[in-house]
A and B are shown apart, each in its own frame.
Chain A
Amino acid sequence: MSGDGVGASARRVGGYGRVTGHQEYLADITLTDMLHVKLVTLDCARARIISIDKTAAEQVSGVRLIMTAEDLPHPMPRFGPQFQDRPVLATGETKYHGEPIAAVAAETKDAAEAAAKLVRVDHEVLVDGVFSVSRALDPTAPLVQDPDLRPDDPLANTNILREHHFGWGDVDSQEADLVVENTYEFPMVTHFAIEPHGFMAAPDGDGIAIWSTIQHPYLLQKTIAKLLDLPLAKVRVFAPDPGGAFGGKQNPKLEPLVAYMSLRTGRPVRLILTLDETFQAVRRASTEIRVRTGLNSDGTLVFEDFESNFLIGAYVDIADRVVTKGNYLAAGPYRVPAVRIIARGILSHTTPSTAFRGFGIPQVTWARESNLDEGARALGIDRLEIRLRNLAEQGEEFVPGDTPADGDWQQAVRRAAELLGWDEPLPAGRGRGIALGLKSGPTTGLSYSTVRLLGDGSVLIYSGTSDMGQGARTVFAQIASQELGVPLDRISVIMGDSTVVPYDQQTSASRSSVLMGTAVLRACQDIQAKVRTMAARLDGVDESEVSVEKGMVYLPGREATVTETLVTGLGPLGGELVGNGEMRKDKDLEHPLGGSALFFEFNATAVELEVDPGTGEITITKHMTVSDVGLAMNPLQVTGQDEGAAIMGLGHTLMEHYIFDEEGRIRNLGAIDYRIPTSLDLPLELRSDSIENADGPGPYGVKGISEGALLAVSPAVGSAVTEATGLIIRDLPLTPQRVWEAMMERV
């Protein structure tokens, strides 16, 4: 569909800047009189800091500040979105490879880098670090976190942060014809946004201004306000569009550090991480998940029993939420009479894990779907058939007490199978796999938007969403275009300035089209109501005789555009109409997740591949991904997100993983030895498709998208590898070497 309204594959709003080089990302902003910051880190994971000697570093010309824990308030300020456990700088002990110990601010980047190398940190490497689940759970292992950080917590003297229990029915009393039990591992992978994280701070009158590549500017505002004891109104957060985020940029990391440095020097400071440093800052939780699947001989699921261990790293960040939200839906989109889930977040001396596209679901999906396939094989049931047999029907309450299945998921599964040619004869040497992924959308939400219809009929939309590539600006503008009848080139979307743009809870969980989209829609409707009043006044008719729809004003005997009505109605002084919209989903304290799913992201992924019998290399010949999107407000953008998610899923399935040495150093920091897919690594055929039944809770029936197409890639590929080779591999990534090793083990 062409045009500017909802459903059109309109050009990206903000696209012009992106193809001309004029889009301003954080690192492109220069502040007058700005100092450059470089972190001081140790090349080891766990170390006791004995002393820090700044003498040599201070001699470097241009150095203005070397900040260490000593220079910060005592006790060390700590922060975090769930637990206030992350220190501004390491104090006493480093807990992961690359944890910042000090930071240098200097007049030039060269000086900051030179001085950072000269900061002498006298330290003792503590070799007994916790880098694995098994070591973390060993009673003789050191505690990653100081128990004092978790007073009154019965688990404070263990490396288990939290142990969560979910489920329904009684697993132990279920009788199954077949029980399949296996353990599946998922590696540590990193976001690798092409834009490295960046942070700036500057004194701003009696407050402070912060710039960050952050996804959640309003959470950052709260964090800084609390740390510095400032009112929100004195913390101005600028959040330029992130150059890729994928969850890694959700939560504050080094903003407090630059804030303190800026206040200390009285000058603007800027810290841009290197790519290597971003590897040390963010990652996905690695997991070991044991799953027992009970099946009847006809393939009906009887029970699912999970024991799920997430290795979350040294500080919690948002990882406990990843553990709960990821595991709560461990049984997936199926109707299962009895489910038991024990899920642990386990602390370790590794980079703190955080949100990452899929939010814990890719890990559990790898385990659940792979195990289901083992059951299907043992029972001699087709892998598509076993899924369709157990898949929840639309409206079915498949998780007791939660949102019922909100889409025709059968349709998506059949579509994926059909695109792949599931029923067609399998070419020699090939294998196929199909897997289903399901993720809860947001469980709470709060978004405000203001829309201003200016005197000439052009539009400003204010939205606190972060447009990090998902295309939020475009869909908000399309909503306004549709409702107010204004072409896209007369609409601007204002984001990323907390003093100008009203509050938005966060940009995560594929929420923005639904939550902020609704706020924008309501703001437009607020304007429509004002136009209606205006039109009634102009024509001297009763408001009940006027309606406003899709940019048109319908009056008795005539119709006019919104713009015509506006221009006449505003009169000689001009002016504008301002509309406000709010969308809220409140917390439900009774619910295990604090709220039911606003919607589900459902995806079916089907692949066909071949495996080189000599080298173990996998060639994906076909990759079909079908998501239930409710409605594609911009099909071009939906395709981009789905294809991108699918390829990102191939990354952790086939090639991505941190490689550690014995002392917890990440050996493959940076782009040379951490491989992500390139244009040459695409499937020979990759197609995405959307199921659109307009059955979502957002404007026009939209649901969230962007994560779905990643969820089920690994099990689909793994299953296809099994069919092609007979090998079962339960550890990712499926590198050529790992596949070859499995072939050798069989021999």
Chain B
Amino acid sequence: MRDTLSIEVKVNGIDRSIEVPVHHTLLDVLREEVGLTGTKECCVVGECGACTVIVDGRPINSCLMLAVEVDGAEVTTVEGLAAEDGRLNPLQEAFLDKGAPQCGFCIPGQLMSAQALLDKKPNPTVDDVHEGLAGNLCRCAGYQQITAAVLAAAEVERQ
């Protein structure tokens, strides 16, 4: 029996070959092996969305995915949203302009769900945003400011 497996995965545009324990989740591996701690751990049952990352274009809860499952896949985490020189993308800018982050702990997950939504639906309605981000709990309950930010980012992208 092999406790670890070598996987090839593209994380934020960089190809990586990682030896991962087969029973560790993508969340564990991102935080502990890859050193990307922007992805957060909270409920570990797929309810809070703090660990949301984008895998092959879709937002997923990285706490419910074994790291071995991303072998051959492309993963984007919150660290992958800004440009390499640190310039923020329109969604991140809008989050700051609208006051979306309060404590900030849920924000990486909110951003990833929002980015996935905008990638798929560039002109979302308020209801689309509420639905698209319903899997991301915010206990500061900045939902209205988060929604406003997503809509504002969509507006910027349209121009």
Contact = CB atoms under 8 A, between A and B. Distances in A.
B39 A193 contact: no
B104 A640 contact: no
A275 B44 contact: yes
A621 interface: no
Classify the secondary structure of B's interface with A: loop
Contacts of A275: 42-44, 48
Nearest to B38: A21
Interface size class of B (residues with CB under 8 A): 35 or more
A646 B145 CA distance: 14
Nearest to A12: B101
Nearest to B106: A194
Contacts of A470: 102
A402 to B, nearest CB: 31
A414 to B, nearest CB: 24
A244 B106 CA distance: 9
A243 B105 contact: yes
Contacts of A25: 40, 105
Given A193-B139, A679-B134, A469 B104 contact: yes
A471 B102 CA distance: 7
B137 A194 contact: yes
Nearest to B113: A679
Interface in A2-38: 9, 11-12, 14-25, 27-28
Contact of B144 (A192, A195, A670, A682): A682
B48 to A, nearest CB: 5
A445 to B, nearest CB: 23
Contacts of A672: 45, 47
A678 B102 contact: no
Contacts of B41: 27, 196, 272
Given A644-B140, A672-B45, A678-B137, A195 B130 contact: no
Interface residues of A, number: 58
B102 A640 contact: yes
A9 B148 CA distance: 15
A686 B144 contact: yes
A744 interface: no
B142 interface: yes
Nearest to A22: B38
A640 B139 CA distance: 12
A460 to B, nearest CB: 22
Contact of B45 (A193, A245, A670): A670
A645 to B, nearest CB: 8
A473 to B, nearest CB: 11
Classify the secondary structure of A's interface with B: loop
B62 to A, nearest CB: 13
A27 B51 CA distance: 13
A21 B130 contact: no
A680 interface: yes
A191 B103 CA distance: 14
Contacts of A14: 104
Contact of B143 (A19, A20, A679): A679
B79 A11 contact: no
Contact of A244 (B37, B77, B97, B140): B140
B145 A194 contact: no
B96 A19 contact: yes
B105 A679 contact: no
Contacts of B111: 19
A194 B105 contact: yes
A682 B147 CA distance: 11
B144 A21 contact: no
Contacts of A243: 40, 103-106
A244 to B, nearest CB: 4
Contacts of A606: none
A369 interface: no
A648 interface: yes
Contact of A20 (B48, B78, B134): B78
Contacts of A478: none
A643 B145 contact: yes
A11 B105 CA distance: 17
Given A191-B139, A682-B143, 11 more contacts: A18-B101, A21-B37, A21-B38, A194-B138, A272-B41, A640-B99, A644-B140, A671-B137, A672-B47, A677-B141, A680-B134
10 smallest CB-CB distances across A and B, nearest first, come from A21-B38, A243-B105, A469-B103, A18-B104, A647-B141, A671-B47, A469-B102, A671-B43, A21-B78, A28-B37
